[in-house]
Structure 1
Amino acid sequence: MTAPARGQGRAEDTAAADASASSAPSGVSRRGLLGLALGAGAAGLAIGAGAGAATAAAIGRAQEAEAAASAYEFFGAHQAGITTPVQDHLHFASFDMMARTDRDDLVSLLQDWTYAAARMTKGLDVSATGAVGGSPEAPPDDTGEAQGLAASGLTITFGFGPTLFENEEGDRYGIAAQRPAQLQKLPAFLGDDLDPAHSGGDLCIQACADDPQVAVHAIRNLSRIAFGRARLRWSQLGFGRTSRTTAAQSTPRNLFGFKDGTANILGTDDAALDESVWVAASDDPSWMAGGSYLVARKIAMLVETWDRVRLTEQEAIIGRDKGPGAPLSGGDEFTEPDFDAKAKDGTPAIPVTSHVRLAHPDLNGGIRILRRGYNFVDGNNELGRLDAGLFFLSYQRSPEQFVTLQRSLSTDAMNEYIRHVGSGIWAVPPGAAPGSYVGASLF
């Protein structure tokens, strides 16, 4: 079902707002309205383009586009934006709670964010009055840059960082005892060159959509709503998904030109999701049941150096053919790698330092994670080189899954061409029930 475009049919939008209000906290709090009135943000847009021949792959992409134009349900057992078909664009944002805020401030912020997110994912403005329906003598509730745009498959996912539960100031919100034991700052990994200004955060929001302006609009307005309670710590724009979560999606390529995410967990694989992604009711703490743990890593890719590497060496580093994406042991893209296969010279067909080999579940005790990463290009650096790379996002039932895999990659030949420059971990609570808000189980 295609979502209504924002700003079209104000009466219909208002009726939809009433329906939305029945399945979300009742409106925005007074402080939330203050944020709408006084906040400000910067929006950027990119224009996506795509076309394809009349092939099976093109049909699959057309199906993806149709799904992206529709609205995904915000409420449910799990938060949207995890197993949802990966959209084309990302705006990720990390927030810190403001000094001298209390438990009521945190709860009201989550309620206000839930109310606004439930509307925006339906293709509506953040409130019933929206961008143009309020008093002309007051700042509008909605920034308005998404007027006339459909929901574009927008999903908004919220997470809680370790410092939300306890930081140097102590237990600010009376929730330290509810902190998951596994929710700890990630350990240092070989090759880390992390920028503290682009790492961590009390709260995070992942906004994904197939229209970049819709994703930016979501973060911009949620930042305004947070005024006086939380401030933006850092954010990241992403484009060109680097994984897939449905069988219908084609496998994308990363900025090194290789297919990425071929063996990713799919959103229809309930057994794998239960085993590797969703926190179980038997796990501790109980309020996280149905949730997951999110790891974000900003990985700079030294693309100019990589571009001077001969093709055979690139393929040996990755462990796959650069064209069709087949493992170097043979077959097609979806053929399982054969790590016992030998090359003509008797060496392993898939080198022992290749990324595919070191990251494979067979060599990591069966560990799997669900990836939702994106490419990024943030202009150029002071040396005139592209500031580009992978904004890696993964969901897992336990952070230990990511830690184990990352340590396995310490001998990855690809490490010569990448640098981990940003990092964060968040507990992603289960989805909100209609009439409630994200994170209610924590309180």
Structure 2
Amino acid sequence: MSDETGVPSADAESEQPAGVSRRGLFGLLGAGAAGLALGAAGGAGVTAAVAAQATTPASRVYPFFGAHQAGITTPAQDRLHFAAFDVGERTTREELRELLVEWSAAAAQLTQGLEIGETGAVGGSDLAPPEDTGEALGLPASGLTITFGFGPSLFETADGVDRFGIADRRPESLVRLPRFQGDALKPEYTDGDLCIQACADDPQVAVHAIRNLSRIAFGRASLRWSQLGFGRTSSTSTSQATPRNLFGFKDGTANVKSEEAAAVDEHVWVGAGEDAAWMTGGSYLVARRIRMLIENWDRTQLQEQELVIGRDKAQGAPLSGGTEFTEPDFDASGAAGQPLIDPTAHVRLAHPAQNSGVRLLRRGYNYVDGNDELGRLDAGLFFLSYQRSPEQFITVQRTLATDGLNEYIRHVGSAIFAVPPGATAGGFVGETLFA
């Protein structure tokens, strides 16, 4: 729940006009593996058609192809559906590659507001299942971005098995995260061979994306766990206001914005020659399911809540004074000589000054998954951070071991993924890995 870390980018994925119907552009799509692969000419045709048919400017459309994957530095959307997958024991290297090809082709269509395949939800035979499940018919693209990642176990299993002949291409830093103080991890929210992050401004659009991509994976990969999220807990652009988390505090105030290109290059993107070559232009994704002990927090005095966070609840200003965006003064003291920002305050411990300058790009979301057997809300923060190296997250998380906020939260899920660079038109995500 780091308040003071974060980073998006200036070469963030360019925004395209929107409002294209999910039908009518299939003739522009090049058929490939399983009728889904999108050729270079098809990709150009989609872009031109999108621009030509834009009718609803309120709906954002982001391109799937590009130097970096969308959904990282893209302005954070309001809704999330995140899914982790296990690749089947009998799946071959070629079948894995074909899955990535088909996923990429489908994602290129979905992010443009289109149905997947050549016949979509209702254009095929009455005697066969539709290619598209159809729950997004009539809905615009809604700013949908789809981001793919590869877990450590894709390269080598816990037993040391190299299933796909790629163990020697695993980046040295792509290993299971260490156990942190206070972790109470549950297997049903942890790890995965592959991941897909679908973000959109309409929850049905995000769910539709994961549902159809899961369907494409049938027989080759199965859903391990998934998470729905709402109400983004970070702003990744100067055009966005700082949101609040379920504790009622503004979250991610110091998240570097996408307009700050130098910060993004320094903290988010893997540079040439500093990691496995196929990861150049990619990033590392950490996903943590953090349960908030809502009932305990709700019985805590306002003054104590503010001391734990280190910020004023109303405006989000640091307790050392100023406004929301005033830099915290960790040396400021009160009349009795006590620090205005407590030594165990979340703001202090998460700040780059306490972490050798480390910053993360955060794209977290609130979640509420009903209640537990005791009637307590099963709710919290689905934390997502992107960083140039996993060591950045590890550094911050270890500093937070003494965070006063730990009394009110539990880390119950954890995963790490290598997020490769974006795909070129006619190519697929992960192509650099299999080159």
Normalised by the length of structure 2, the TM-score is 0.90
What aligned pairs does 1:67-78 form with structure 2 within 5 A after superposition? 69-78=59-68
1:341-360 Cα distance to aligned partner (Å, 9 max, x none): 11222110110000000000
- Which of 279, 292, 307 does residue 298 from structure 2 map onto? 307
Look up the match of 2:52.
none
Look up the match of 2:348.
357
CA distance in 1, matches of 2:112, 2:154: 29
CA distance in 2, matches of 1:341, 1:69: 46
CA distance in 1, matches of 2:94, 2:26: 29
- Which of 71, 84, 88 does residue 94 from structure 1 map onto? 84
Contact 1:68 1:209 in 2 (8 A): no
CA-CA distance at 1:31 after TM superposition: 11
Look up the match of 2:42.
none
SS in 1 for 2:323: coil
Matched, 1:14 2:5: no
Letter in 2 for 1:84: T
Contact 1:298 1:421 in 2 (8 A): yes
- Which of 234, 237, 240 does residue 246 from structure 1 map onto? 237
1:261-292 Cα distance to aligned partner (Å, 9 max, x none): 11102112110111100000121211100000
Matched, 1:318 2:309: yes
CA-CA distance at 1:229 after TM superposition: 0.3
CA distance in 1, matches of 2:230, 2:214: 21
Give 5+ residue unaligned stretches, structure 1.
Answer: 33-65
* Runs ≥4 residues deviating over 4 A: none
Aligned positions, number: 399
Look up the match of 2:32.
27
CA distance in 1, matches of 2:229, 2:153: 25
Identity %: 67
1:146-201 Cα distance to aligned partner (Å, 9 max, x none): 00000000000000000000002611101000000000000000000000121000
CA distance in 2, matches of 1:166, 1:291: 20
CA-CA distance at 1:80 after TM superposition: 0.1
What aligned pairs does 1:291-302 form with structure 2 within 5 A after superposition? 291-302=282-293
State which drifts further: 267-276 or 417-426: 267-276
1:300-349 Cα distance to aligned partner (Å, 9 max, x none): 00000000000000000000000000000000000000001112221101
Normalised by the length of structure 1, the TM-score is 0.88
Look up the match of 2:271.
280
CA distance in 1, matches of 2:86, 2:337: 54
CA-CA distance at 1:216 after TM superposition: 0.1
Look up the match of 2:18.
2
Letter in 2 for 1:173: F
SS in 2 for 1:297: strand
1:239-259 Cα distance to aligned partner (Å, 9 max, x none): 000001100100000000000
Contact 2:35 2:117 in 1 (8 A): no
SS in 2 for 1:69: coil
SS in 1 for 2:428: coil
CA shift in 2, pair 1:273/1:80, >3 Å: same
State which drifts further: 397-406 or 277-286: 277-286
What aligned pairs does 1:33-44 form with structure 2 within 5 A after superposition? none
SS in 2 for 1:389: strand
Contact 2:169 2:276 in 1 (8 A): yes
CA shift in 2, pair 1:378/1:312, >3 Å: same
State which drifts further: 164-173 or 381-390: 164-173
1:62-104 Cα distance to aligned partner (Å, 9 max, x none): xxxx877121010000000000000000000000000111110
What aligned pairs does 1:276-425 form with structure 2 within 5 A after superposition? 276-425=267-416
CA distance in 2, matches of 1:31, 1:116: 6
CA-CA distance at 1:13 after TM superposition: 2.5
SS in 2 for 1:326: coil
CA distance in 1, matches of 2:170, 2:26: 39
CA distance in 1, matches of 2:118, 2:140: 16
